[in-house]
Structure 1
Amino acid sequence: MPGLTFNKSHFQFILAMRKPLRLSGIVTNLGLLIALTAIWIAFAPTLIGGRASYVVVQGNSMEPSFHRGDLVIVQAASTYNVGDIVIYRDAELRTFVIHRIIAMEQDHYVFKGDNNSWVDTYRPTHAELIGKLWIHMPRLGKAMEWLRLPIHMGLTTGLLGGILMVSMIKPAKRGRRKNNPTGSFGGMLEGGLYLFGFFTLVFLALGIFAFIRPLTRSADKIQYQQESHFSYSATGTPVIYDTEVVRSGEPVFPRLTCFLNISFTYNLLGDPLQGVAGSHQLIARVMDEQSGWQRTIPMNQRTTFTGNSFFSTSTLDLCQIVSLVNTLKQETGLRANSYTLEIITQVVMTANAEGNQIVDSFEPKLVFRFDEVHFSLSAPKGQDDPLYLSKQSSANNSNLEANTLSILGWKPAVLTLRMIALLGLVFSLSGLSIIGIRIFTTSQQDQEAFIRLRYGGLLVNIYERNLVPPSMLIDVTTIDELAKLAERNNTVILHMTVNFLHCYLVQCNGITYRYVFSNGRRGVVEIESPRQEIIEYPISANQNNIVEAQPDEEELFGYVISKSRIAKAEVEQTVILRKIRL
């Protein structure tokens, strides 16, 4: 079999196919996996249990900070403050709105666009808030809108799939051993190292995340709802009305009837509320919105109540209201086309809930617009039904409860996460310790397996056992030194087996560096030309010029271990020092 030589181009090609595996590379890959997992948890959409919501800006109400086509990512928050940019769902417009909180009215939030001169008419509650601004990506929303089109999504998916398939196609490795238990052993240890290292980083990150969170937190706010319903009636004239009674929603004419009967119903909804009590009073307020004039008239005395509901009635003299306005005109000369009459129920409520004292107020209004001729029902600002008002309220809860974290829709307790993290770390570190012990044992018992495990990315197996003799051969003391030479010269380590010997070679600049061992002992083997290629030149007895190449004392010839042709190789104990004569 002819000799085999490796030049620099061969080494560069092999290096391009097989990169060295180092601890830093393992840590980098594990760190990348952890980073990808953290990114997924942070950016997972709410539709699949995540915390992030993605909205594309469609208007100009938030310019110059936000423009049409920008992508906004928000995350749900437990509290929202004045000045926060928040996305909420407008039930009236049936769309999502991104505006800034400018005020809070009890449990409702007041919003306004930075580029608007008016305040949003809709007052969302905490439950209607989608999330607080987290990340703003200018113009990226246009790209997402482009991807929403089916044809664009199909083209993009096909392109990415093609790139992935091409990247997965790898040329078949040539010269691989069919049965290589050593490589399988190294692969198992390497895979285990990756697996347990990954779990160690995951549980370590989980532990840090869990231990910086408190075990308890303040209990959720106590939710309750107050409802009110107004109704009114008056004596009617069959010629003017359908019946003899003026019903809620119909206009009232003072020339036909002066007295308006007002009825009010109150309900308090909330399961944890106990010991509900309070007081209420009806008042009438006449006002001119343009001049700011107003006059308050009590309709009854303040009355106490107990329980979750009460019913109240009172009568208002509309003719007295008209007379009051006429007196205002005569005395002040004020002329207005119309005035406003507000009938307000002032409710003060107290209750107990889970050991917490709750005190709240509620002031629903029944509003009329009137002039000298008639009173007509009007809806208060921000209220759809002029007769019905509902107020969602909440109270602080001084109790403590187990703190929880939201992970892709799962809300485990912090204590549970701490226990999982600790047990996971024990399991992962135990696995790493077992692998470390196995590697140490391997290094002591099977040096070839240890070398393959440590420098598997640098090794190239060769099967030609006859190499062209190098111009210079140098033995190194350890495999580590040989690996340093391979990395320094950007080459690979050639590995071949000569009977029971494992020979590792590095060729560079005409010099061959070698490390040989067998059964835990270092050995030396000489790379020589095949026997059939040795040509013996006969020397004539009459020839005078005979040149004998005597070995130099500093020159290393090595030892030749003869190959046995029987199945079981035996070590030749005789050391042959061969001199080559020319």
Structure 2
Amino acid sequence: MLRSFLLRPAVMGSALMVVITAALWGIFAPMPFGGRTTYVIVNGNSMEPGFHKGDLVLLRPAQQYTVGEIVMYRYPGLGPVIHRIVRQNGTRFVLKGDNNGWEDSYEPETSEIAGTFWLHIPRVGIAFGWLREPWAAAAVAGGTIFVLGVLMLKLPEPRGKRETPFWWKGWTRSASYWLARWQEPYFMVMYILAAAGIVLGLFAFTRPALRQVADNLPYQQTGYYVYYADLPVNLYDNRRLESGDAIYPQLNCQVNVLFHYQLLSAAEFAGGGSYALQARVRDAAGWHRSFPLGEAANFSGGDFQAQQVLDVCAAQRLITEMEEMTGVQRPQYYLDITPNVQVAGTLGGRIIKTDFAPALSFVVEDQQVFLNTTAVPGADVLRPSAAGLLEGSRLEANTLDISRVRIPVNTARGLAVLLVVLSLVGLAVPVVMLQQAEKKEEKLRAHLVAGPKLVEAAGSLLAFGDRTVEVRQLEDLTRLAEKAGSVVFFHEDPPWATYLVRENGVSYYYRTLSAANRDSAPEVGNWGEDLVRALRNDELVLFYQPSVSMQDGQISQVEAFLRWQHPERGFLMPMQFLPWAEKSGLVQFIDEWVLNTGCLQLRRWQDQGYLNLPLAINISSYELRQEGLAKLVETVLKRHELSAEMLRVEIDESDLSLQPAILDNMRQLKAMGVGISITAPRGESLEAVHSLLDVDQVKFGRNMVQQVLATESNSQSARQWIHQAHQRHIKVVAMGVETQEQYGFFQLSACDEAQGFFISPPMPAEDLTRALKAGPDFKNPALGNGSGGAA
């Protein structure tokens, strides 16, 4: 029995599918939806022969990127580009297409790269291009809607009502009842925990806890050139030549050149180096002559400043000598100044050896020497810089990437073990409960073993003439029900308990002695048979109670109330027989009868000219939980040719927080146009109610109405409650109004409608029809015209 109790293939399969789906989503989820995968369709030939136009490429982000990897980045003004890293330039990467003869002009940083190549699916992009055609998109959308529509035609079968736990009978029994009611979701959660722990463990225990990652140390070398000279004539406003100005050798041959160097890094530098400023004259054809500017010098630390004098006239003399010797004259020559910096030491504890020789270039003409601003395109020739990178690596904790969340491998291992242990403990708990149930109560045992498939029968399960097969163990019967997808019927008639499964016209049953504990729920008796007879013999009737407008006292809506004219027990109220209807599985038929009968009467009133009379119907909480409720209401409305706006479904506010299925059904009804009315016996927060459901009207419960005048605090709370409802555009109806004082209070408090015996008791349809015919003559007592029951 324990094997059948714990190993449920359908639930285990569903749990495994949930975990697999979650794992696949975590792996393949796109970046815009919280995942870590980027999908790109190749739209060019720059990466041939590896990738072709129309291929789908999947990329995933990495903590670091290395030379040789294929990555995707966004080229400014162009869009996504998939190319290969060919080298690294400081903190930036140089990329090139495999089929290109040139490198990309844009060099992205690590933060600008979306991801590295992961998967490649050829030609898939062609299908996406095909789907962009209007006719193809329409065909796919139409086919999808058709398939979904066909799948939705199969409505789920209604389930029997589970027994409410009796908390005063002990924690074991109460917890067991809870598990019996929710065991499929419970086992689903336990299996999901187990599967998730195993899957997570497969990833965590097959990866090393530590990994070696790049720990590169970037640095920047910068220089700052300044040149200046005094002028003997008033050529400039301040009689001084500044950086950027043209130099005129015939006025002044001597120019002071200052160079400031800095090594910048977040790490500490220890060491120094040497420098030697040098000048060189050259032409465009390749001729050049060099001469030093001062002596070579050493420096310590990461910066120094050097100043020398540049003799421009000496540079011109070298040019003149070359022209006289060769007979070649050119209109322009170039004069370059380089610092030739050599750096050695340690940076952040790592050895660094580097050089820095940016040229300050001048154009030399016959009469002037001026700064060559085009020597380095896009750069400031007076402020040169060069990025550098000291490569290194370090060990760090390895991680798993789960939907943009990085979890250390050791943490993932511990979490995997914890999930498996929790699932094992969680599966052991119902085993203990089952053992306790076998000793105490047969019905509880039945719920635990069969779970949602259990259907309690009111009478004997076996009848004369049935084809029957008795099985030896309850486990065999539950396994048969699981395989056939059928329910397990259960009936207890002390001292015997009978379980039965019907398949292909054969009744398979298991009979055993009841457990020792006999404090089961009261016997159903003959209520089931009586209710079936009542439905067949039209013993059920509907009474209708009108609500009146607080403004003019006219009937504004009608609420239907169920009654049973029992031939032996007399006139019965719903609370006297509906619990037994739920017990016997007949409540759904009663709800359908109430809905159909109420709508039929509403149709009759509309045929008589009362077109604006909404009808409110109370549907049992059992029916409100069924998935087919909205479809049933739609069918009945179409049958009687009624607009959905003329029907209102009432629900108690307590069901909103306890029954999510009811909320789903009410939202579907609201979408159809059916009005939603909430009965609030406790007067809880309207904000909480309205956040769960779009409500049309709220009804004060009878208890609230009776106590509204008891204290000033109650009165003030009621006024505030009405005010809050009106702020949310919700109408308020006071139920159970029985006195003139109550009616007057709600009228002065701007309540919209009132309902109760002070206005009119529930009455048969023919009596209310006469009241409707009376028209303006129907007045409630507050307006001075009798009881208001009939015309």
TM-score, structure 2 as length reference: 0.50
Deviates more, 1:343-352 or 1:451-460: 451-460
Distance 2:243 2:436 in 1: 93
- The aligned residue for residue 640 of structure 2 is none
Correspondence for 1:100 = 84
Letter in 1 for 2:471: V
Q: In 2, Cα distance between the equivalents of 1:141 and 1:388? A: 51
Of the three residues 2, 22, 33, the one matched with 2:18 is 33
Say which structure is richer in helix: 2
Judge conservation of contact 1:369–1:378 (CA < 8 Å) in 2.
no
CA distance in 2, matches of 1:48, 1:348: 51
Matched, 1:228 2:223: yes
Which letter does structure 2 place at the counterpart of 1:267? Q
Say if 1:21 and 1:455, in contact at 8 Å, map to a contact too: no
| 2:274 counterpart of 1:264 | no
Question: What is the 5 A alignment of 1:566-581?
Answer: none
Q: Could you say which residue in structure 2 is the equivalent of 1:359? A: 353
The aligned amino acid for 1:26 is V
Tell me which of 497, 508, 512 is aligned to 1:501.
497
Distance 1:49 1:520 in 2: 53
Change (3 A) 1:130 1:520: same
Q: Is the 8 A contact 1:273 1:351 kept in 2?
A: no
Decide which of 103, 115, 120 is 2:104's aligned counterpart.
120
2:105 alignment partner AA: T
1:179 aligns with 2:163: yes
1:437-516 residue pairs with structure 2 within 5 A?
A: 437-439=432-434, 453=448, 455-456=450-451, 462-463=457-458, 465=460, 469-470=464-465, 472-482=467-477, 490=484, 492=486, 495-497=489-491, 499=493, 500-508=496-504, 511-516=506-511
Aligned to 1:273: 268
CA distance in 2, matches of 1:473, 1:416: 57
Answer yes or no: is the 8 Å Cα contact 1:45–1:51 preserved in 2.
Answer: yes
Cα shift at 1:273: 0.4
Q: Compared with structure 1, are the counterparts of its residues 438 and 278 closer, same or farther at alpha carbon in structure 2 (3 Å cutoff)?
A: farther
What is the rounded CA distance, in whole Å, between the counterparts of 1:186 and 1:174 in structure 2?
Answer: 17
Deviation at 1:430, TM superposition (A): 2.8
User: Is the CA contact 2:42–2:56 (under 8 Å) kept in the aligned structure 1?
Assistant: yes
Query: CA-to-partner distance for each residue in 1:496-554, whole Å, 9 max, x for gaps?
Result: 4152421314342x544332223379xxxxxxxxxxxxxxxxxxxxxxxxxxxxxxxxx
Name the SS for the 1:378 alignment partner: coil
Partner of 2:532: none
In structure 2, do the counterparts of structure 1 residues 257 and 51 end up closer, same or farther at CA, with 3 Å as the change threshold? farther
Query: Which segments of 5 or more consecutive residues in structure 1 lack a partner in the other structure?
Result: 1-19, 148-155, 522-582
- Contact map agreement 1:383 1:389 (CA 8 A) in 2: no
Distance (Å, rounded) in 1 between the aligned partners of 2:102 and 2:313: 37
**What is the 5 A alignment of 1:52-131?**
52=37, 74-88=59-73, 97-114=81-98, 116-126=100-110, 128-131=112-115
The answer as to whether partners of 1:460 and 1:492 remain within 8 angstroms in 2 is: no
Aligned residue identity for 1:348: Q
Instruction: Name the counterpart of 2:581.
Output: none
Residue 700 (structure 2) aligns with = none
Q: Secondary structure at the match of 1:313?
A: strand
Match of 2:95, SS state, is: strand
**2 CA distance for matches of 1:365 and 1:235?**
24
Q: Which has the higher contact order (CA 8 A, sep 6+)?
A: 1
Q: Quick one: distance in 2 between partners of 1:336 and 1:436?
A: 101
Report the AA paired with residue 85 of structure 2: I
Aligned position for 1:201: 195
SS in 2 for 1:388: coil
SS of the residue 2:18 aligns to:
helix
Contact 2:373 2:380 in 1 (8 A): no
Rounded Cα–Cα distance in structure 2 between residues aligned with 1:341 and 1:71? 54
| Structure 1 range deviating more: 332-341 or 222-231 | 332-341
Q: What is the identity, as a one-letter code, of the residue corresponding to 2:342?
A: V
- Shift of the 73–312 alpha-carbon distance from structure 1 to 2, 3 Å rule, reads farther
Secondary structure, counterpart of 1:121 in structure 2: coil
Partner of 1:310: 304
Match of 1:395 in 2: 390
Deviation at 1:362, TM superposition (A): 3.0
Structure 1: distance between partners of 2:235 and 2:46: 48
The aligned residue for residue 191 of structure 1 is 185
TM-score, normalising length: structure 1: 0.65
Per-residue deviation, residues 388-418 of structure 1 (Å, max 9, x unmatched): 2344434345665555666566656544444
8 Å contact kept, 2:333–2:364:
yes
SS of residue in 1 equivalent to 2:380: coil
CA–CA separation in structure 1 for the residues paired with 2:323 and 2:431? 98
Query: Partner amino acid for 1:131?
Result: G
Q: C-alpha displacement at 1:160, in angstroms?
A: 11
Cα distance in 1 between the residues matched to 2:488 and 2:209: 57
Deviation larger for 197-206 or 458-467: 458-467
Q: Is the Cα contact below 8 Å between 2:258 and 2:308 reproduced in 1?
A: yes
- 1:39-67 CA-to-partner distances (Å, cap 9, x unmatched) read 45445677898655567778776577668
2:188 counterpart SS class: helix
The C-alpha deviation readout for 1:73-98, integer Å capped at 9, x for no partner, is: 5433343333323344668x697654
Distance change >3 Å, CA 103–CA 472, structure 1 → 2: closer
Query: Shift in Å at residue 361 of structure 1?
Result: 3.1
Question: Which letter does structure 2 place at the counterpart of 1:28?
Answer: G
Residue 344 (1) aligns with residue 338 (2): yes
Aligned to 1:15: none
Amino acid at match of 1:501: A
Q: CA deviation at 1:311?
A: 0.9
Are 1:370 and 1:376, in contact at CA under 8 Å, matched by a contact in 2?
no
Cα RMSD over matched residues?
5.0
Amino acid at match of 1:118: W
Percent identity between matched residues is: 30
Please state how far the C-alpha of 1:248 moved relative to its aligned partner: 2.3
Asked if structure 2 preserves the Cα contact closer than 8 Å seen for 1:341 and 1:370, the reply is yes
Q: Measure the CA separation in 1 of the matches of 2:300 and 2:333.
A: 36
Higher mean C-alpha deviation, range 70-79 or range 470-479: 70-79
In structure 2, what is the Cα distance between the partners aligned to 1:451 and 1:365? 92
Amino acid at match of 1:225: Q
Equivalences for 1:486-565 in 2 at 5 Å? 490=484, 492=486, 495-497=489-491, 499=493, 500-508=496-504, 511-519=506-514
Deviation at 1:473, TM superposition (A): 3.3
